[in-house]
Structure 1
């Protein structure tokens, strides 16, 4: 498994640009989702804050990605929102993650169990075909699937964009590649970039870790 840890805006841009993505939609989506989760009183159902966070995160990410005008499309099969870049054959969905989301010292999993719309099949080789591109004759599988995981703790929202490799039951628990974003600081309203240019070399300062699956 490859783990990438961009430290600056430029580092993150270099990783997202080939996917026709930018950091700003993710930054805004995390901020909106966190703010909405705080609109509930203790009298609300316990699931209310996190469910609303997910709804608003997806909504804001949709708005931001569409504004990029980079060819991304949106579909909702079985009420599961997912984004598709048909030219690159990339699929993207949003899910809350566990306490190992956004750190290199643990292996994250999706926080809640996922149904058949989320993971239609994972073959014996761990090759994931999680999404379909609707066409006239049915669907075309999108094998380059990515999941945006997020988890809030200690005043920070930790998030990563990761490629799933396999599932354990109804949870995604294995990844082939992880792009770990700088933590989103809720007090400052921005990613916690390390912008010390003196420490970054000419090729950037993208950390890279390879671990056994």
Structure 2
């Protein structure tokens, strides 16, 4: 059975409100604030810092946007989370591979993740009862009653694609399948000077760049 990939505006809007109490513009603004942090980098920053700055400010923007509604933050084990006031779900920000934000494809996180992500996705499996048989021994994932969603984004020379999705399986630190995906329209990056290496080679071939941002209609 095909799992839900939601990319129609009304579907995404409905699920964001129902599950998170958020609007599509909230997620777009969060992604754009990460882009602004990347834009602020100069040639005198370390070569890989622009990507790190984008990720860190995306996390910060997510927390800023949700904290007035009672969301809380956790950095236990250096694993930055944004936790819903119900304490039943959480969001983590990760960079995605080239399939991110493309409805027909199966995206994954760009770099292999460690124990914290694996534990959280095991908890997703247990909570959602996705499989007929799970291993008898599961690594405890902090609060295993929480479902973890991933705010995944991917930058290309022409656009940034992003989605808020619910992972269901992780193998070797890489997310392999999803229970549900909320896919947003890409944000067009106009007049960019950037070089990006192979998404899957594990290298951070990030360059500083000037961008003008406009929403893709």
Q: Which position in structure 2 is the counterpart of 1:80?
A: 79
Q: Which position in structure 2 is the counterpart of 1:12?
A: 12
Question: Larger relative CO (CA 8 A, sep 6+): 1 or 2?
Answer: 1
Do 1:131 and 1:143's aligned partners in 2 also have CA atoms closer than 8 Å? no
Please list the CA deviations of residues 162-193 of structure 1 after superposition, one character each: whole Å capped at 9, or x if unmatched. Answer: 11111120122211111101112334745434
Secondary structure at 2:41 match in 1: coil
Mean CA deviation greater in 92-101 or 152-161? 152-161
The root-mean-square deviation of aligned C-alpha atoms, in Å, is 2.8
- The whole-number CA distance in structure 2 between the counterparts of 1:131 and 1:160 is 27
> 1:176 pairs with 176, 179, 197, which one?
179
- The whole-number CA distance in structure 2 between the counterparts of 1:23 and 1:45 is 33
Where does the alignment leave 5 or more consecutive residues of structure 1 unmatched?
Answer: 133-138, 194-213
Cα 1:189–1:40 change in 2 (3 A) is: closer
Matched, 1:160 2:167: no
Any runs of at least 4 consecutive aligned residues in structure 1 with deviations exceeding 6 A, and if so which? 128-131
Do 2:82 and 2:90's aligned partners in 1 also have CA atoms closer than 8 Å? yes
Cα 1:94–1:29 change in 2 (3 A) is: same
- The whole-number CA distance in structure 2 between the counterparts of 1:124 and 1:32 is 30
Aligned residues: 183
Q: Which has the higher helix share?
A: 2
Q: What TM-score do you get using the length of structure 1 for normalisation? A: 0.74
Mean CA deviation greater in 181-190 or 164-173? 181-190
Do 1:77 and 1:117's aligned partners in 2 also have CA atoms closer than 8 Å? no
Q: Which position in structure 1 is the counterpart of 2:144?
A: 141
Q: What TM-score do you get using the length of structure 2 for normalisation? A: 0.73
Q: Which position in structure 2 is the counterpart of 1:206?
A: none
Q: Which position in structure 2 is the counterpart of 1:192?
A: 216
